Amino acid sequence: MNNKNGQEDEEIISWFEEISEHAARVQTQTLQQIIQLNLGVEYLKCWLGDLKIQDMDPCALESLYTSSVPLASHSDFEPYIQSIADGDASPLLTQEQITTLSLSSGTTEGRPKHVPFTHHSAKTTLQTFRLAAAFRSRAFPIRKGGRILEFIYSSKQFKTKGGLTVATATTHYYASEEFKIKQKATKAFTCSPPEVISGTGDYSQSTYCHLLLGLVFSDQVEFVASTFAYSIVQAFTAFEELWEEICEDIKKGTLSDRITSPQMRKAVLKALSPNPTLALMIEEKCKVLKGLDWKSMIPELWPNAKYVYSIMTGSMQPYLKKLRHYGGDLALISADYGATESWIGVNVEPTLPPENAKFAVIPTFSYFEFIPLYKQKQDYSFAVDDFIEAEPVPLSQVKMSQQYEVVLTTFTGLYRCRLGDVVRVTGFYRGTPKLTFICRRKLILTINIDKNTEEDLQMAVERGSRPLSKTKIELVDFTSHASVTNHPGHYIIYWEIKGDAGATHDKILTQCCLEIDQSFVDYGYIVSRKSNSIGPLELCIVEKGTFKKILDYFIAKGAAVNQFKTPRCTNNRDLLAILEHSTTKRFRSTAYR
């Protein structure tokens, strides 16, 4: 490890240890800084009036703030954000200049949210990346001057009526000075030039170039990364079809005609020169890997890679099996916990498997509150929410093993905003809590008194797919729909699978359907199935490429592949039309238990 970089790593870890040790005090100071910065903005005036805080004790200010300003959802801020988008330059949410608006992925709520993005947003992103890299370097040292095979993509940008640029947070970050600093200052930098990252809106062209350049610099690659695990799986799945064409380009120093962007072609060709020796070596390896169904592809083609790094929690967990298939014995490290609204926590234990990832809250980035959540008693005589809530508590009062919903107050103008994420406290890093992400709060499968979350669905699908281990069939992706078209309503699970799904495997798929149906543990669902107020579950097998069509649908609507998350449940008519049109086989569960 380079001594200078090693010293910088220890310095940022020491900073984090110091603020974590005194997290409670740091949090009250952080809230004080946020209010001092934004005092007088229109939203806060509604609740705090013309409050004078110059001589106010930070703890007293914290108490006044949480008792005066109500809990809010993103919809409470939308009228202000719309006014900002339309050109209102007065301080509505924050005194800091807002030059851009960030878009959330939109796959959870059905439409993207707009969030103010400022210099502070980019600064905290860079700080998070540096801190996370320092913890990773302790466990997995990397070479100075190495490269990252990084599947990252900018999305389309557009202007609001008032002239503000709108794009995803990652797009803003890749265009920022902070990202340029990261590229120059960190131990390893991405294989691809900015022209490949920014692309043309056609992510397939960028993916091809990422793969090509990743192989050109294969001996220099220290690790493989992307924002979400899905993007890595999507890229290597594409590689299975593209490898011969890529080898030809490496051999001749040319670039496929599929790359039509002049800027991208020029930037990539600049990095290429004929290399028949490398092309032959890759070709020989790929022939062997193809016979092994591409198992351990990453360490075979990138022999110096230390790990795979990406967000692997929540809706990304279903892709872990495929990542492990491609990654062989390489470590999978879950990237840090954040949202479009704010970064929340850093992975301080990168050696843990992604299923056990824990994120230590960074107490200087936002002011955090936590709503304690308790499961309802088994009384389903009427429709109820899935949790009972207690009053929010500050970071200093969270308890081990308790589940909470996260609430944020940010420097960028969101005040006591409910994030909708359910987390569990699994320990403490000095004085700051370590969180495990559980699921999104929003119920995704419900017909009457049944209450199933994303976590419930993923567990049911995981258990239901176990019979596939007896075959060469592999589950590629899935989504679901609570259908009430006919009475009684029932759940529909859509699976895209890889491998022979001929008539010989119908019996196995029928078993999978039954296993999914009986794997939902929600009491309301069990009672409803037994009384036939919810009908037998339906498993629909869709043709190859269906979920790519869903990705293309979202991209056409302005989403970014870098932030894409397959919606685990949908009522979107366009998506349902794609799924139904692509369905090739249907299986129905039998009598319940």
Q: How far apart are CA 499 and CA 88, in angstroms?
A: 55
Low-confidence ranges of the chain (pLDDT < 50): 1, 107-109, 378-385
What are the distances in angstroms from CA 66 to CA 53, 408, 417, 560? 15, 12, 12, 36
Q: Which helix (DSSP H) or strand (DSSP E) does residue 579 occupy?
A: helix 573-582
Q: Tokens for 83?
A: 């006014």
Return the closest-CA partner of residue 444 out of 567, 533, 538. 567
Q: Which helix (DSSP H) or strand (DSSP E) does residue 455 occupy?
A: helix 454-464
103 SS3 class: strand
- Give the DSSP letter of residue 376: P
What is the secondary structure of 344-366 as a DSSP string?
A: EEEES-TTS-GGG--EEE-TTTE
Q: How far apart are CA 582 and CA 47, in angstroms?
A: 52
pLDDT, residue 381, reads 36
pLDDT, residue 362, reads 92
**Beta-sheet strands, E only, within 255-365:** 307-311, 331-334, 337-338, 343-347, 359-361
Task: Tell me the backbone φ, ψ of residue 93, rounded to 5 degrees.
Answer: -120, -35
Q: How far apart are CA 120 and CA 423, in angstroms?
A: 25
Return the closest-CA partner of residue 443 out of 458, 453, 435. 453
Q: How far apart are CA 530 and CA 109, in angstroms?
A: 31
What is the secondary structure of 146-187 as a DSSP string?
A: EEEEEE------EE-TTS-EEEEHHHHHHTSHHHHHHHHHSS
Q: Checking phi first, is residue 535 left (phi over 0); if not, alpha (psi -120 to 50) or beta?
A: beta
CB 547 within 8 A of CB 568: no
**114-117/100-103 β-pairing:** antiparallel
The dihedral over CA atoms of 52, 53, 57, 60, expressed in degrees to the nearest 10, equals 70
Q: Which helix (DSSP H) or strand (DSSP E) does residue 203 occupy?
A: helix 203-216
Q: How far apart are CA 9 and CA 194, in angstroms?
A: 26
510 SS3 class: helix
Q: Enter the pTM of the model.
A: 0.79
Q: How far apart are CA 219 and CA 198, in angstroms?
A: 25
Q: How far apart are CA 229 and CA 311, in angstroms?
A: 6
